[in-house]
Structure 1
Amino acid sequence: MYLKSILLAFSLFLGATSLWAQEAQATLTLTITGVKSTKGNLCIALYNSKETFLDTKKVFKTVDLPLKGLDLSKIKIADIPYGTYSIAVFVDGNTNKKLDTNFLGIPKEAYGFSAAKLPKFRAPTFEEVAFPVKTKEKHLTITVK
């Protein structure tokens, strides 16, 4: 009887833990403004730390969507654990899966980040464009330039 009580308590604990883990997932809904073409793809990179920010090999989650027919007001990214994130977005007009730049390193394709105000002559830091995810639904508007 004692062993059954322990097993029951343990299974209830595991069930509660897995239920909490499921609840600690969010869905981001993005509205992207400033896109002037339906040619190419919209590339979205979600970063979860300053150590990996803007490192294309260490992106937490990526979304690559064809622009043609895309509703830019309701882009959903699901299964995001609660935490702090930053987003980088660019319009990949030639679908080569990279942000094209000129010889000075200035982007030739439209891009944006998860903050309205950005530094003028450098890329932003993780902290400058970071946002918290603490609820099941998080809405953001990102403007590409």
Structure 2
Amino acid sequence: MNRFILVFLVVFISAVNLKAQKDEQKLANLTVRIEGKISSTGKLQLKLYDSESEWLEKGIRTLYIDLANDDNRTFHIEGLPAGTYAVAVIHDKNNNGELDMGMMGPTEKYGFSNNAKNMFGPAPYSDASLELENDTTITIKL
């Protein structure tokens, strides 16, 4: 019986400590400003990623700005746990939710956090990633 009580107390104290750590986890806001010559056709689409394995595949958040109804080109993402993130933005002129490609490459404008670039394809996650610890504002040029 004493062993049972001891195990119960260890589990209970561990759970309380885990909850306290989670409650103390620092949250930050990310503001993303978009610059560049962009027509008022379509939408700006922002995808936020938190891992290299899902980079440009499955974002953890997707946000839109309808350019026909909103000339504000700033995204606000609130309450993110401190950590490593990367952002990809496209000017989705035809509202199909993806970056359209032609014979010579993309036919719609795009950009990444840190204004990361790559000659032959998308920028790597390591170049686009940023450490978010406090409220941060970044600018992406399309």
Where does residue 116 of structure 1 map in the other structure? Answer: 115
Where does residue 3 of structure 1 map in the other structure? Answer: none
Q: Provide the C-alpha distance between the structure 2 equivalents of 1:66 and 1:118, rounded to a whole number of angstroms.
A: 25
Please state if 1:19 is matched with 2:20.
no
Count of aligned positions: 130
Where does residue 52 of structure 1 map in the other structure? Answer: 54
1:20 is matched by which residue type in structure 2? E
Where does residue 89 of structure 1 map in the other structure? Answer: 89
Q: Which runs of 5+ in 1 are unaligned?
A: 1-5
Bigger radius of gyration among the two: 2
Give how far 1:19 is off: 3.3
Where does residue 6 of structure 2 map in the other structure? Answer: none
Please state if 1:71 is matched with 2:69.
no
Q: Secondary structure of 1:142's partner?
A: strand
Runs ≥4 residues deviating over 2 A: 10-19
Where does residue 128 of structure 2 map in the other structure? Answer: 129
- What TM-score do you get using the length of structure 1 for normalisation? 0.79
The CA deviation string for residues 18-45 of structure 1, in whole angstroms up to 9 with x for no partner, is 5313xx2211111100142111110001
Q: Provide the C-alpha distance between the structure 1 equivalents of 2:84 and 2:96, rounded to a whole number of angstroms.
A: 29
Give how far 1:79 is off: 2.1
Where does residue 139 of structure 1 map in the other structure? Answer: 137
Q: Secondary structure of 1:127's partner?
A: helix
Q: Which runs of 5+ in 2 are unaligned?
A: 1-8
Conserved? CA contact 1:35–1:91, under 8 Å: no
- What TM-score do you get using the length of structure 2 for normalisation? 0.80
Q: Provide the C-alpha distance between the structure 2 equivalents of 1:64 and 1:33, rounded to a whole number of angstroms.
A: 15
Identity, % of aligned positions: 29
Q: Secondary structure of 2:118's partner?
A: coil
Please state if 1:29 is matched with 2:31.
yes
Conserved? CA contact 2:63–2:75, under 8 Å: no
Give how far 1:59 is off: 1.0
Q: Provide the C-alpha distance between the structure 2 equivalents of 1:16 and 1:121, rounded to a whole number of angstroms.
A: 46
